[in-house]
Amino acid sequence: MPAPPATASPDVDAPGAAAHGSGLWMAVRSLFTRDLRLALRRPSDTGAALVFYVIVVSLFPLGVGSDPDVLRGLAPGVIWVAALLATMLSLPRLFAEDYRDGSLEQLLLAATPLPLLVLSKIAAHWISSGLLLALLSPLLALQFDLPAGAAWVLFVSLLLGAPLLSLVGAVISALTLGARGGGVLLSLLVLPLYVPVLVFGSSAVHAAVSGLGVSAHYSLLGAMLVVGLALAPWAAAAALRIVLE
């Protein structure tokens, strides 16, 4: 009597799939930690953006006077614009050094999907710039006599909005990589795209100062962040392929 045909075990490929997933995670984590180490080894780059942020915010109380009502009205827009500009200062270095030393081409040839690698670089950029700006914001809000509740709303809005600034900026940084006058071109292209984040982020703080609800502004910032996480790494990866090909 012939033996019944052998059936393939459903778990035959499980070790290979697990190893592949572990390899992806290791590659993404290695690139993320590498970029953070590079940022720590060159504190002048990060420090320059933070000093610029503090100086720009601090100049406004000196220029407009000490009227608390005027300062509270200016605070959301001033701090958000300063954070936006400070983030933009650090965007050119997101891919530029990897482009110069040739390691960016190696990322394109790696087995790990390029959008995941781009996302890890964006995350490192946010931690070394946007997160620090958000952490400084409650201290800077004291110069504008913002109440504690409004300062907390400012902090949360920057936590939601700063990653979106890095995501959008990464796409434009990839598009302008290697272009002559790329820094100026990057600024011209990225500033209009930052307007929705600026509007909803500062409006959340204005609403808190006025005693209105802020949940709608949080929801809009969160929705834009989700869309940015879904689309920006793929768009930046496509732009890098175009530039390098």
Please list, residue by residue across 125-148, b when 16 or more beta carbons sit within 10 angstroms of its beta carbon and e when fewer do. bbbbbbbbbbebbbebbebbbbee
Per-residue pLDDT tens digits for 213-232: 899 999 999 999 999 999 99
Residue 160, in any domain of the structure: yes
- Residue 118's pLDDT is 92
Q: What is the percent of the chain where pLDDT is above 70?
A: 90
Name the more confident of 96 and 126. 126
Per-residue pLDDT tens digits for 14-73: 454 454 556 677 878 888 888 888 888 887 778 888 999 999 999 988 888 778 888 888
Q: Residue 210 and residue 243: Cα distance in Å, rounded? A: 47
Range of the domain at 56: 21-244
Residue 13, in any domain of the structure: no
Question: Distances from the Cα of 163 to the Cαs of 74, 115, 145, 224, in angstroms?
Answer: 23, 16, 27, 10
The one-letter amino acid at 27: A
R_g of the chain, CA atoms, integer Å: 22
- The dihedral through the CA atoms of 136, 44, 190, 33 has a sign that is negative
> What pTM value is reported for the model?
0.85
When pLDDT is averaged across residues 159-186 and rounded to a whole number, the result is 87
Query: Tokens 């809000």, residue?
Result: 141
| Most confident stretch, 6-10, 79-83, 104-108 | 79-83
Residue 3, in any domain of the structure: no
Q: Residue 50 and residue 53: Cα distance in Å, rounded? A: 5
Q: Residue 42 and residue 225: Cα distance in Å, rounded? A: 29
200 contacts 213 by C-beta, under 8 angstroms: no
On the CB side of 43, CA atoms within 13 Å amount to 2
Residue 32, in any domain of the structure: yes
Instruction: Examine the pLDDT at 180 and tell me if it is beyond 50.
Output: yes
Name the more confident of 25 and 195. 195
Burial class (CB in 10 A: 0-12, 13-18, 19+), 189: middle
Residue 171, in any domain of the structure: yes
Residue 9, in any domain of the structure: no
> What's the number of domains the chain is made of?
1
Instruction: Examine the pLDDT at 95 and tell me if it is beyond 80.
Output: yes
Crossing angle of the two packed helices 43-64 and 131-141, in degrees rounded to 10: 30
Question: Distances from the Cα of 151 to the Cαs of 22, 25, 215, in angstroms?
Answer: 41, 37, 15
Residue 172, in any domain of the structure: yes
- Residue 17's pLDDT is 47
Residue 16, in any domain of the structure: no
- Residue 14's pLDDT is 46
Burial class (CB in 10 A: 0-12, 13-18, 19+), 7: exposed
Instruction: Examine the pLDDT at 2 and tell me if it is beyond 60.
Output: no
